[in-house]
């Protein structure tokens, strides 16, 4: 290996150093594609794992990045990074851990394949014109009032509207017990901070929503994994976890779980509440997709069954309307409300009134219900297309059958790590979210999440056929993608 590093350096570091020099000197510039791991390994006469380690090191430094199925590229800001800035302030170790966590996520940008990985609702379904007219009307009617600071609780009209909407499920909620948030995401962080301090632990389902794991890292909270069994958290394990003094709360998605797509039955919800009451520990119920039921009978949310005041419920318009308004809500009971408002005030002084007011009017005028009726029909068609395609193309797999929401969980046989399958799937024409990203420790999973949010029925069918091809080829070759190569940076 021609390199200026001392020969005592491990081989992978010599390779990384050489590439770093190339980037610093401008011999490789932003957007340049690096050789595949296999090609560089054979050119240098080294093991593929050695090259994979070198790429992983450079990716950790932020110099290169990989995109599923497309390859590994020099990042555009890389030259400056490789040369090193004049001053280099220390980034807090917590943030570095968060960056490491984020880098372990697959990069999907620019890949031309069926988007069965994305939990972002299809923009072609957004009621843009109707919402634009509503936004114009509220600005015309309320003018500068909507362009002031709105206060930590948010627009009173939208709180009234949302309280009425949530009361339809049986929850005890009024405009006074709700605070509007920047999506459910802000609600998650507020709820975690309401009950837990850095160093404390939080019980989360496993698998769980990926971004919650990131939020736990950012808040220096420890996840305690509660395994999902038959689509519901294992209450025996949860009971033991909540008995631990350091475990301060349980974060759960009882309805249309992400990533599983499952909902828990009424009896399970009652038992969960009873055990939380015995432990005296709060439950954060993420009801982010509660309006997306397209089949089966609704089950009351935990907030509706709760008699103790231990449930804090999150709501969002992101999946049922569009995510860009960044409007969601958190509601709690008793003195928790004031505590939440203090936190919200300290965090951001409150959200954008104009969007909140427009959403209030949009709901009141029936626009939201009309949109939901259309959307549920579309989602039911897409879910059926997905279930049908799975039955035809992947009969050897097992999957969940959601009654609402966007996601379906597929378990592949044969102990495959679905992270390894992703590059082949991307080349075959489909993207998915590998199960490992929903594990607190990132360990391998033979499961994967498919989403019907962004793909139409034709694209879903093509995507599942491509997935089946990738599974066959993967099984036939018995190949494992080198870790850190084309998926993990």
Ligand X SMILES: Cc1ncc(COP(=O)(O)O)c(C=O)c1O
Interface with ligand X by CB under 6 A: which residues? 119, 183-185, 209, 253, 258, 286, 288, 316, 318, 323, 328
- Could you give the angle at which helices 235-243 and 266-279 cross, rounded to 10 degrees? 20
Whichever of 284 and 412 has its CB closer to ligand X, that residue is: 284
Q: Where are the beta strands (DSSP E) in 289-373?
A: 311-316, 328-331
Q: Which is nearer to ligand X, 54 or 353 (CB)?
A: 353
Q: Which is nearer to ligand X, 14 or 356 (CB)?
A: 356
Identify which of residues 14 and 153 has a Cβ nearer to ligand X in the complex.
153
Q: Are 213 and 309 in contact (CB under 8 A)?
A: no
Q: 127 or 429: whose CB is closer to ligand X?
A: 127
Least separation in angstroms between CB 207 and ligand X: 11
Closest to ligand X by CB, 82 or 292: 292
Shortest spacing between CB 44 and ligand X, in angstroms: 41
Residue 285 C-beta: closest distance to ligand X, Å: 11
Cα–Cα distances (Å) from 437 to 48, 74, 137, 151, 263, in that order, read: 24, 24, 43, 36, 21
Minimal distance, residue 318 CB to ligand X, in Å: 3
Nearer to ligand X, 184 or 390 (CB): 184
Main-chain dihedrals φ then ψ at residue 32, nearest 5 degrees: -65, 140
Residue 85 CA to residue 98 CA, distance in Å, equals 22
Q: Look at the alpha carbons of 347, 352, 357, 358 in this order and tell me if their dihedral is positive or negative.
A: negative
Q: What share of the chain is helix, strand, coil (3-state, %, to 5)?
A: 45, 15, 40
CB of 130 to ligand X, least distance (A): 20
> What's the CA gap between 446 and 397, in Å, rounded?
10
* Closest chain position to ligand X (CB): 183
Rounded to a whole number of angstroms, the minimum distance from the CB of residue 284 to ligand X is 10
* Least CB distance to ligand X at residue 479 (A): 31
**Which DSSP string do the residues of 363-378 spell out, in sequence order?**
HHTTHHHHHHHHHHHH
187 to 326, 327, 360: CA distances (angstroms): 11, 10, 19
Minimum gap (Å) between residue 148 Cβ and ligand X: 24
What 8-state DSSP symbol labels residue 404? B
Q: How far apart are CA 242 and CA 224, in angstroms?
A: 10
Nearer to ligand X, 407 or 418 (CB): 407
| Nearest Cα to Cα of residue 385 among 284, 293, 461, 289 | 461
């Amino acid at each position: 290996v021609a390199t200026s590093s001392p020969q005592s350096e491990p081989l992978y570091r010599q390779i990384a150093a050489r590439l770093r020099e190339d980037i610093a000197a401008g011999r490789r510039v932003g957007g340049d594609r690096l050789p595949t791991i296999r090609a560089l390994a054979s050119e240098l006469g080294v093991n593929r794992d050695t090259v994979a380690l070198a790429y992983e090191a450079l990716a950790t430094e932020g110099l290169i990045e990989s995109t599923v199925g497309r390859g590994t590229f020099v990042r555009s800001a890389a030259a400056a990074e490789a040369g090193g800035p004049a001053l280099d302030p220390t980034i807090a170790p917590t943030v570095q851990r968060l960056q490491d966590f984020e880098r372990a996520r697959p990069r999907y940008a620019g890949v031309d394949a069926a988007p069965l990985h994305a939990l972002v609702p299809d923009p072609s379904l957004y009621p843009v014109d109707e919402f634009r007219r509503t936004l114009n009307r509220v600005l015309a009617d309320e003018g500068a009032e909507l362009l002031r600071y709105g206060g930590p609780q948010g627009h009173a009209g939208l709180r009234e509207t949302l309280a009425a909407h949530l009361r339809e499920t049986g929850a005890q909620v009024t405009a006074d017990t709700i605070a509007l948030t920047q999506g459910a995401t802000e609600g998650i962080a507020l709820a975690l901070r309401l009950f837990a301090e850095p160093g404390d632990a939080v019980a989360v389902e496993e698998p769980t929503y990926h971004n919650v794991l990131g939020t736990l890292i950012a808040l220096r909270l420890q996840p305690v994994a509660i395994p999902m069994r038959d689509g519901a958290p294992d209450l025996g394990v949860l009971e033991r976890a909540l008995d631990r003094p350091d475990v301060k709360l349980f974060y759960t998605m009882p309805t249309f779980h992400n990533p599983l797509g499952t909902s828990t039955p009424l009896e399970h919800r009652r038992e969960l509440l009873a055990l939380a009451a015995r432990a005296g520990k709060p439950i954060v119920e993420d009801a982010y997709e509660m309006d997306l039921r397209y089949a089966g009978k609704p089950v009351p949310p935990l907030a509706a069954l709760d008699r103790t005041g231990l449930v804090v419920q999150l709501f969002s318009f992101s999946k049922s309307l569009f995510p860009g308004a960044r409007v969601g809500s958190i509601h709690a009971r008793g003195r928790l409300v004031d505590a939440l408002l203090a936190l919200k005030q300290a965090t951001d002084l409150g959200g954008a009134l104009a969007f909140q007011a427009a959403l209030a009017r949009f709901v009141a005028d029936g626009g939201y219900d009309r949109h939901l009726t259309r959307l549920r029909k579309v989602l039911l068609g897409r879910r059926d297309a997905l279930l049908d395609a799975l039955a035809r193309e992947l009969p050897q797999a097992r999957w969940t059958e959601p009654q609402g929401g966007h996601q379906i969980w597929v378990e592949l046989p044969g102990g495959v790590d679905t992270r390894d399958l992703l590059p082949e799937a991307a080349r075959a024409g489909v993207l998915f979210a590998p199960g490992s990203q929903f594990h607190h420790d990132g360990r391998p999973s033979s499961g994967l999440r498919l989403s019907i949010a962004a793909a139409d029925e034709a694209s879903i069918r093509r995507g599942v056929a491509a997935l089946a091809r990738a599974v066959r080829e993967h099984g036939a070759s018995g190949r494992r993608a080198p870790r850190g190569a084309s998926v993990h940076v």
